[in-house]
Structure 1
Amino acid sequence: MKFLLLASCGAVMLAVPAAAQNDDSYMDFTPQFTQADDAANESAAEDDAILANVPARNTIVVIGRGLASTPGTPAYSAVDITRDQIVTTASGRLEDALVRVAGFQQFRRSDSRSSNPTAQGVTLRALGGNASSRALVLLDGVPMLDPFFGHVPFSALAPERLGNIRVTRGGGSGPFGSGALAGTIELDSANAAELGLFTGQALANQRNETELSASLAPRLGNGFAMVAGRWDRGQGFWTTPESQRVPASARAAYDSWSVSGQLVQQLGDVEVQLRGAAFDDERTLRFAGADNTSQGQDISLRLVSRGPWQVDALAYAQWRNFTNVVISSTTFNKSLDQKDTPASGQGGKIEVRPPLGEGVTLRLGADYRRAEGNLLEDAYNATTGALTQNRFAGGVNTNLGLYAENDWELGALTLTGGLRADRYWIEDGYYRAVNAAGTTIRDDQYADRSDWAVTWRAGAVVQANEVVSLRAAAYTGLRLPTLNELYRPFAVFPVTTNANAALLPEKLEGYEAGIDFAVTDGLRFGATVFDNRVRNAIANVTIGTNLRQRQNLEAVRARGVEVNGAWQSGPFGIDASVAFTDATVRGTGAAAALDGNRPSQTPQFSGSVTASYTGAQGIRAAATLRHVSGQFEDDLETDLLKAATVVDLFASVPIAGRLSAVARVENLFDTEIITRNQAGSIDLGVPQTFWLGVRYGF
């Protein structure tokens, strides 16, 4: 059924006729994005400028985005990443663009070519500790977190299809705010003006790995259509150090593709945005036969009205599956086959902004999310290869949220405040194990539970003068445990981590204050100090030798400072972001041994500096220096992942017209990046890698 829906979506994109319009109608495709680290209210100003400069009465303004940001957005610590920054990374991966924002991190340092997909949870402000996402990731308003695992399918999110990224650090409210515990990452698809009619690129590296992508975005009727695809494949690099390799060791081979389509049309006063996508990703990790796959399909429909009564309505459906084979690191035989993990997610939102007069922006809305998933896996004796158990687990999580936010513009002062109420249900949870003889040895049915949770946020911005603005905010947040955390045990041999169906939702309390300087049009910088505390933080807690369990800690507290800066003078620019965070665990009871420790996989310092050049002849170049301090693999602080400093390069030179030659270098100095350290058993991140190829239309 899901494939039929996607096929129907594609057919509609090609077949829907444009609605008839008067001859004096006008279509505006002006790109909507701001400069990196600029104040977030500039995005709203750009949207407003488009709507204010309508040249005729019967005007059609097709943006392909949601409603503009509200005036109170700058009260929170927001950073924008422009399209040019997104498409000029050394790796060509989305996560490489996101690490421009200090404090952004995945659970491990690996990117989406050499990590297990389930480890690709994202967080901000050192509020990590496990592989689930504590930051909410939205693509065109649709939550992108996996319905079962909570990770982000990075290989399905091609950066060249994006027009802008906004990262807001700190607890969220508004639509889908129950997942924005550590912040929100909003991805906006590029529209026809940003893409052009056709874009394409083909690159290869010294390991004969390839990256191919293309998009077609014609203006169609009273809007535009877009269809795009990407295919990445390669033998991969050695993640195992040479001194630890055995005959069973294997490169981190990968083969992934993704396709997406979008149709944006203006029908009367309503902009209709229809989107469909599908992806498939195959990877091998550490040993021959340790293969995993993930696949998914998405479809969404969004209706946006920018009239006096502004409305943003969205409905979506998602389907996912994941498989994973675990190979013993001592016998190199299969020990676990997670052969099927089907999951689905459905949801939607509606937001209304009534016309209340100048200086007041009120948002009233509701959203709904439902996630259902099941696990089917086979366990084997790693020595004999004999089947020992068949295991089954799963459940359903549902969330209904109601929210209201209001901004008041009082001259140089802007006040903002929001309140959100969530009704959640954790239902139909189960775990069943059957031995090789077919006898049920465990059959757990977990009690359903539900509750209400209320969260809020409030902030203020003062434009002290033409140069300086001051801001402050306080907030709370909520995150439900994922189906994976509740019901699925997993093994990273030899360590087994058990699930915990009794997990409580995580709750955030935090506040921050910041100052921003707009010294000139080309020089901006700012700093934010923050104090965030996650109560009932879910972590993988050691409870025995090679045995852990997901448990609620009393709290994880993160205090720190973030500094962002940008300088532009003619063709030269510098963009920098650094974060220093003191994060500690508050542990009691079974987790008392963790009290005062730093959360696992959490660095104390991270920073990124990019120097760029954009010449008049279309020449582009960028050099990025990144540093991540040391962090611990485990909760007991026994296995250290040493600090890493990496330099990346990018350059493109026009050949003819919109065709350019491209060169990229990942990890220029071949720094050793340790991504896993399990009692001395090491995994490594990407080594020195050279890419060469061509681009058209970027």
Structure 2
Amino acid sequence: MRILTPIASILLTFALAAPLAAQETENVAEEGVIVVLGEGLKDTPSVVAYSSSEIELETIISAPSGRIEDVLSNVAGFQQFRRSDSRSSNPSAQGVTLRALGGNATSRALVLLDGVPITDPFFGYVPLNSINPEQLSSIRVTRGGGSGPFGAGALAGTIELQSADAATLGPFDASLLANNRGATEATASLSQELGAGFGVITGRWDRGQGFFTTPDDQRVPASARARFDSWSVGIRGAAPLSDTVELQMRAAAFRDDRTLRFDGADSSSEGQDASLRIVGHGDWEFDALAYMQARNFSNIVISSTRFVRVLDQRNTPSTGLGGKFELRPPVGNDRTLRLGGDYRHADGELQEDAYSAFTGALTQRRRAGGVNTNLGLFAENDWNLGALTLTGGLRADRTRISEGFYRALDASGALVTETIASTRSDWAVSWRAGAAFETSDALTLRAAAYTGMRLPTLNELYRPFVVFPVVTQANAELKNERLEGFEVGFDLMPTEAVSFSLTAFDNLVKNAIANVTLQPNLRQRQNLPAIDAQGVEAVMRVRTGSISLDGSLAFTDATIDGRDASLALDGNRPPQTPRWAASATLGWSPKPDWYIALTLRHVGAQFEDDQETDRLEPATTLGLFAEVPVTEKLRFVLRGENLTDERIVTRNSRGAIDLGTPLTIWAGLRYGF
């Protein structure tokens, strides 16, 4: 019920804005000055100074799996915590990062949808299943520490997702596909231009019995397929308030249910989000945004020896609140000044029950939670000096970690253990600066340096967890992660049909949070002295006639920096961190409205743990997407995942293996006009 009032308020505001939009249209339509974009403010010159990748609509909608994580895997440096996708992994493990700065399940990259952070307030994971690629218009990935207007959380970079407007989606679009294991995927969108504005309603539903993540030789009668059942719905609209100001709103809800490895090992995640945004495009440009999130998570842990329930994480409600204001005063045609601030509030509470694996009796009731807040102030200035672009930004963040606790009671209600965390607050200053020089129309040289910051999540601070037989303890004393880094590179575009980008970087994450092994069956979240990552990223794009080729390559030499070998892990590679990752997509449009694409992807070997004992072998997969017209409005869609049926190891805990998506074929129809 707590989400209904904010959503109702936003819908009411939008409804009241519609007559105003119509009135404004009558007053100025003849002058043609109202242009409702449904987006934030236009890009600043600083974009060219940092390593970034743009993903176009054609690429977004042609992923072999039809899932957003598959789309993002085409980007050099993008990495999920595990190789499994959002149908066969635990939702709380869906952290994303860039530049191989992984090592735990929390996102080190800031993910924004229409300017709103979408990571879970309690866990810090990204609800990937709630994002439908077919309802996006563009994606920008900026690598490297973010400061200034991007805010705290952009430790490894920023992933900006932009929803499609009514003109992009068309009045009606729907698809229905099924795969060779009987799973189904249905999507639909309704769009309408409303005066000078627009409204969009979208929905998606995926369900299926999944596949066995457990290898044949490790299955037991209790082994289960990775079943999934998820849905999401959203409403989005934009309307002019004047000839230079527009109102945007978005409301969404989603739920996802999964089973992982054993019968009864069920998890669920759900959320309701709402945001309101006012964007001014006049001489004094501004962007005012407010949002809220209501999320919940549950998970049942099954013993891997007796195959009975041992833990019921029955409820983890959390709330995220926030806002941002950015002002761009008129300071001249050759400069862009950005001033503003943002605020984020996250609170949540874990509620779980532990049971005996032998008797099934309740042994403990546990609760844990707290409140994290962040207030940031930023300023950034860009200078356009002909062929040279300079940019610099400064940010100050006031962080506060409060009301943290962990409490365990036995079955009779007697206190077993209790931790009351002290309240902590601090100021953190971060900055970024860059330069880009156009040596010619074809070649741009660039260099940048930056710092960044991320708060530990409530999950990392207060919630212990078990992946049997390993227990991982929380740590209420975790410090903020800090990043320092620099990069140099160039962008080459000898013709409009060919582009190539190369970036070398050196990033250092101080106080990096990781699950550190204390004993064979015991780990604890701790701040490592640092993770040091150097590497090279390359991006290529070719368009010639009906053929297209998009490729990316990332090499990252990441190590745990124990500071003069004082830490036993010194020199080890961080967990879940490959050295090599590459992707290439070959597209072909033999006729109008025809599109066929093959995607070859490789992920190098990586380790499951910080001790480098459990190795995940490299994997190379081949994917297919094809769409051909049947009639003017009806199209046939064919998708293939892992066409060579490559063995993809996603988890290796002392030889206990989980596998990723095997050979999967999807076929269906898409209708749109």
State if a TM-score over 0.5 links the two structures: yes
Q: Which SS does the other structure have where 1:627 is aligned?
A: strand
Once the two structures are TM-superposed, the CA of residue 8 in structure 1 deviates from its matched residue by 5.4
In 2, the alpha carbon distance for the partners of 1:569 and 1:25 equals: 42
| Structure 1 residues 542-575: Cα deviation after superposition (integer angstroms, max 9, x where no partner) | 0012110000000001000000000000111000
In 2, the alpha carbon distance for the partners of 1:7 and 1:415 equals: 44
| Structure 1 residues 487-532: Cα deviation after superposition (integer angstroms, max 9, x where no partner) | 0001111111100000000000000000111110000001000000
Shifted more, 435-444 versus 395-404: the winner is: 435-444
1:68-79 to structure 2, matched below 5 A, reads 68-79=42-53
Match of 1:462 among 413, 418, 437: 437
| Structure 1 residues 76-103: Cα deviation after superposition (integer angstroms, max 9, x where no partner) | 0000001111111110100000000021
Sort the Cα spacing of 1:541 and 1:590 in 2 relative to 1 into closer, same or farther, 3 A: farther
Equivalent residue number for residue 152 of structure 1 = 126
In 2, the alpha carbon distance for the partners of 1:473 and 1:493 equals: 44
Partners of 1:6 and 1:277 within 8 A in 2 = no
1:236-635 to structure 2, matched below 5 A, reads 236-268=210-242, 269-587=244-562, 592-635=567-610
Once the two structures are TM-superposed, the CA of residue 17 in structure 1 deviates from its matched residue by 3.1
In 2, the alpha carbon distance for the partners of 1:85 and 1:59 equals: 32
Q: Which SS does the other structure have where 1:160 is aligned?
A: helix
Partners of 1:668 and 1:688 within 8 A in 2 = yes
Q: Which SS does the other structure have where 1:212 is aligned?
A: strand
Partners of 1:541 and 1:591 within 8 A in 2 = no
Question: Is 2:187 aligned against 1:230?
Answer: no
Shifted more, 6-15 versus 255-264: the winner is: 6-15
Once the two structures are TM-superposed, the CA of residue 160 in structure 1 deviates from its matched residue by 1.0
Once the two structures are TM-superposed, the CA of residue 588 in structure 1 deviates from its matched residue by 6.2
Once the two structures are TM-superposed, the CA of residue 409 in structure 1 deviates from its matched residue by 0.4
Question: Is 2:37 aligned against 1:63?
Answer: yes
Once the two structures are TM-superposed, the CA of residue 25 in structure 1 deviates from its matched residue by 3.8
Once the two structures are TM-superposed, the CA of residue 658 in structure 1 deviates from its matched residue by 2.5
Sort the Cα spacing of 1:379 and 1:524 in 2 relative to 1 into closer, same or farther, 3 A: same
Once the two structures are TM-superposed, the CA of residue 380 in structure 1 deviates from its matched residue by 1.2
| Structure 1 residues 202-229: Cα deviation after superposition (integer angstroms, max 9, x where no partner) | 0000111000010001001220000111
Once the two structures are TM-superposed, the CA of residue 5 in structure 1 deviates from its matched residue by 3.5
| Structure 1 residues 26-46: Cα deviation after superposition (integer angstroms, max 9, x where no partner) | 4xxxxxxxxxxxxxxxxxxxx
Shifted more, 361-370 versus 214-223: the winner is: 214-223
In 1, the alpha carbon distance for the partners of 2:293 and 2:324 equals: 15
Match of 1:141 among 115, 137, 150: 115
Once the two structures are TM-superposed, the CA of residue 24 in structure 1 deviates from its matched residue by 7.1
In 2, the alpha carbon distance for the partners of 1:669 and 1:24 equals: 60
What is the letter of the counterpart of residue 19 of structure 2?
A
Partners of 2:627 and 2:635 within 8 A in 1 = yes
Equivalent residue number for residue 141 of structure 2 = 167
Once the two structures are TM-superposed, the CA of residue 176 in structure 1 deviates from its matched residue by 4.5
Equivalent residue number for residue 18 of structure 1 = 19
In 2, the alpha carbon distance for the partners of 1:8 and 1:200 equals: 29
Aligned residues: 669
Consecutive unaligned residues of structure 1, counting only runs of 5 or more, are: 27-55
| Structure 1 residues 276-324: Cα deviation after superposition (integer angstroms, max 9, x where no partner) | 0000000000000000000000000000000000000000000000000
Sort the Cα spacing of 1:685 and 1:392 in 2 relative to 1 into closer, same or farther, 3 A: same
Partners of 1:553 and 1:591 within 8 A in 2 = no
Equivalent residue number for residue 58 of structure 2 = 84
Equivalent residue number for residue 184 of structure 1 = 158
In 2, the alpha carbon distance for the partners of 1:13 and 1:203 equals: 34
Q: Which SS does the other structure have where 2:459 is aligned?
A: helix
In 2, the alpha carbon distance for the partners of 1:296 and 1:356 equals: 42
Equivalent residue number for residue 184 of structure 2 = 210
In 1, the alpha carbon distance for the partners of 2:544 and 2:28 equals: 39
In 2, the alpha carbon distance for the partners of 1:684 and 1:586 equals: 31
Q: Which SS does the other structure have where 1:72 is aligned?
A: helix
In 2, the alpha carbon distance for the partners of 1:570 and 1:416 equals: 37
What is the letter of the counterpart of residue 316 of structure 1?
Y
Once the two structures are TM-superposed, the CA of residue 22 in structure 1 deviates from its matched residue by 5.2
Partners of 1:13 and 1:262 within 8 A in 2 = no
Partners of 1:378 and 1:387 within 8 A in 2 = yes
Once the two structures are TM-superposed, the CA of residue 13 in structure 1 deviates from its matched residue by 5.5
Q: Which SS does the other structure have where 1:486 is aligned?
A: helix
Q: Which SS does the other structure have where 2:69 is aligned?
A: helix
What is the letter of the counterpart of residue 283 of structure 1?
R
Match of 2:647 among 672, 675, 686: 672
Partners of 1:70 and 1:361 within 8 A in 2 = yes
Q: Which SS does the other structure have where 1:18 is aligned?
A: helix
Partners of 1:619 and 1:652 within 8 A in 2 = yes
Partners of 1:18 and 1:265 within 8 A in 2 = no
Once the two structures are TM-superposed, the CA of residue 14 in structure 1 deviates from its matched residue by 6.4
Question: Is 2:68 aligned against 1:94?
Answer: yes
Q: Which SS does the other structure have where 2:239 is aligned?
A: strand
Q: Which SS does the other structure have where 2:4 is aligned?
A: helix
Once the two structures are TM-superposed, the CA of residue 480 in structure 1 deviates from its matched residue by 0.4
TM-score (norm 2): 0.98
TM-score (norm 1): 0.94
Partners of 1:13 and 1:225 within 8 A in 2 = no
Sort the Cα spacing of 1:22 and 1:585 in 2 relative to 1 into closer, same or farther, 3 A: closer
What is the letter of the counterpart of residue 88 of structure 1?
S
In 2, the alpha carbon distance for the partners of 1:376 and 1:590 equals: 40
| Structure 1 residues 390-426: Cα deviation after superposition (integer angstroms, max 9, x where no partner) | 0110000000000000000001000000000000100
Once the two structures are TM-superposed, the CA of residue 450 in structure 1 deviates from its matched residue by 0.2
Q: Which SS does the other structure have where 1:312 is aligned?
A: strand
Once the two structures are TM-superposed, the CA of residue 4 in structure 1 deviates from its matched residue by 4.3
In 1, the alpha carbon distance for the partners of 2:441 and 2:251 equals: 44
Equivalent residue number for residue 3 of structure 1 = 4
Q: Which SS does the other structure have where 1:247 is aligned?
A: coil
Q: Which SS does the other structure have where 1:194 is aligned?
A: helix
Equivalent residue number for residue 639 of structure 1 = 614
In 2, the alpha carbon distance for the partners of 1:528 and 1:230 equals: 37
Partners of 1:260 and 1:275 within 8 A in 2 = yes
In 2, the alpha carbon distance for the partners of 1:328 and 1:23 equals: 67
Once the two structures are TM-superposed, the CA of residue 438 in structure 1 deviates from its matched residue by 1.2
Partners of 1:18 and 1:220 within 8 A in 2 = no
Q: Which SS does the other structure have where 2:602 is aligned?
A: strand
Equivalent residue number for residue 33 of structure 1 = none
Please, what is the CA RMSD of the aligned residues? 1.4
Consecutive unaligned residues of structure 2, counting only runs of 5 or more, are: none
Sort the Cα spacing of 1:200 and 1:13 in 2 relative to 1 into closer, same or farther, 3 A: farther
What is the letter of the counterpart of residue 82 of structure 1?
E
What is the letter of the counterpart of residue 467 of structure 2?
V
Once the two structures are TM-superposed, the CA of residue 236 in structure 1 deviates from its matched residue by 0.6
Equivalent residue number for residue 631 of structure 2 = 656
Q: Which SS does the other structure have where 1:355 is aligned?
A: coil
What is the letter of the counterpart of residue 473 of structure 1?
A
In 1, the alpha carbon distance for the partners of 2:643 and 2:15 equals: 44
Q: Which SS does the other structure have where 2:7 is aligned?
A: helix
Match of 2:77 among 75, 82, 103: 103
Sort the Cα spacing of 1:471 and 1:556 in 2 relative to 1 into closer, same or farther, 3 A: same
